[in-house]
Structure 1
């Protein structure tokens, strides 16, 4: 029975890695669709979100089945419960990618944001893609150093997020009302994507070391 239980725990980890990998693909496509005004790519991201949602449900059902049948305790219980919370954050990260892609679709054939902000959003997208890739590797390896680099990347995104608000609220801003709304929403989606990744990294760090970081954001 113990061997079966350990196999089930490994399957939970494998499914988290698979789900995270799909989220990484989703944000990479979404940022390209956003920056390049690629409506076909945006449609792919929106359609593929159903697969992320389906895998999340299947993973949660597996975790609940383990709780019911195996009645884990101590660290094993923390692993299963953490998997439920991590899968929820990954699903929300997929939603953030979808929202970014939806903005690209709504504004096609125009760019979503004015030229003065495109460099900022290109950098935010690049960082989100890197974070998603690092998160997938963190879930695979539980390399605690990756958790710290994810947090550092999130700090950079937070700074860029604030710079967007400074821009659209500044006296020199020439954008229309729709430009202001789009820029604000897009910046928030990028920022929340990274916040969810930090929340996951915090949970993995706790499982790996037993240390809980109360200062890391929770999703």
Structure 2
């Protein structure tokens, strides 16, 4: 029985890695669609979100079945409960990627943001993609050093997010109302994507070390 239980826990981890991989592909495609005005890629991201949702739902069902049948305790219980919470965060990350792609599709054939903000969004997107790829490796290895890298990358996204607000609220901003709304939404989606990754990183750090990482001030 114990061997079967350990196999089930291993399957939980494998499924988390698979979902995180789908999310990494999704944000990569979404940011490229956003920055390159690629409507076909945007539509692919929107369509692929169903795969992320389905994979997350299947993982949740597996975790709940483990809780019901195996009644895990101590660290095993933390692993299963954390998997449910991580699955929810991954699903939300997929949603953020989908929202970015939707903005690109809605504004096609135009770019979503004015020229003055495009370098900022290219950089923000690149950091989000890097975070997503690091998250896949973190879930595979539970390497706490990667968790710290994700937290540091999130600081970069936060700074870029604030710079977008400074720009659209500044006296020199010449964008139309729709430009302001789009830039604000897009920046928020990028920022929230990274926030969810940090939330997952904290949970993995807790599982690896037993120490909870407090929220940033």
Normalised by the length of structure 1, the TM-score is: 0.98
Residues of 2 paired with 1:31 and 1:215: CA distance? 28
Query: Where does structure 1 lack aligned partners over 5 or more consecutive residues?
Result: none
2:78 matched residue in structure 1 = 78
- Distance, in Å, in 2 between the alignment partners of 1:72 and 1:216 is 31
**Partner residue of 2:199?**
199
Which string of whole-angstrom CA distances, capped at 9 and with x for unpartnered residues, describes residues 126-175 of structure 1?
00000000000000000100000000000000000000000000000000
In the other structure, the counterpart of 1:42 is: 42
In 1, the alpha carbon distance for the partners of 2:113 and 2:34 equals 9
Q: Is the 8 A contact 1:117 1:164 kept in 2?
A: yes
In the alignment, is the contact (CA less than 8 A) between 1:202 and 1:216 conserved in 2? no
Kindly provide the CA deviation profile for residues 43-96 of structure 1, in whole angstroms up to 9, marking residues without a partner as x. Answer: 000000000000000000000000000000000000000000000000000000
Which runs of 4 or more aligned residues in structure 1 lie more than 4 Å from their structure 2 counterparts after TM superposition?
none
The answer to whether 1:158 aligns with 2:158 is: yes
- How far the C-alpha of 1:215 sits from its partner, in A, is 1.9
CA distance in 1 between partners of 2:214 and 2:22 (Å): 28
Aligned equivalent of 1:57: 57
Over aligned residue pairs, what C-alpha RMSD do you find?
0.7
Q: How does 1:125-140 map to 2 (within 5 A)?
A: 125-140=125-140
Match of 1:113 in 2: 113
Structure 1 residue 216 displacement after superposition: 4.6
Write the distance in 1 (CA, Å) between the matches of 2:133 and 2:104.
23
TM-score, normalization by structure 2:
0.99
8 A Cα contact 1:19 1:56, kept in partner? yes
For structure 2, the residue ranges without an aligned partner over 5 or more in a row are none
Aligned length, in residue pairs = 217
Give the Cα–Cα distance (whole angstroms) in 1 for the partners of residues 53 and 86 of structure 2: 13
* Superposed CA offset, 1:105-129 (max 9, x none): 0000000000000000000000000
The residue that corresponds to 2:102 in the other structure is 102
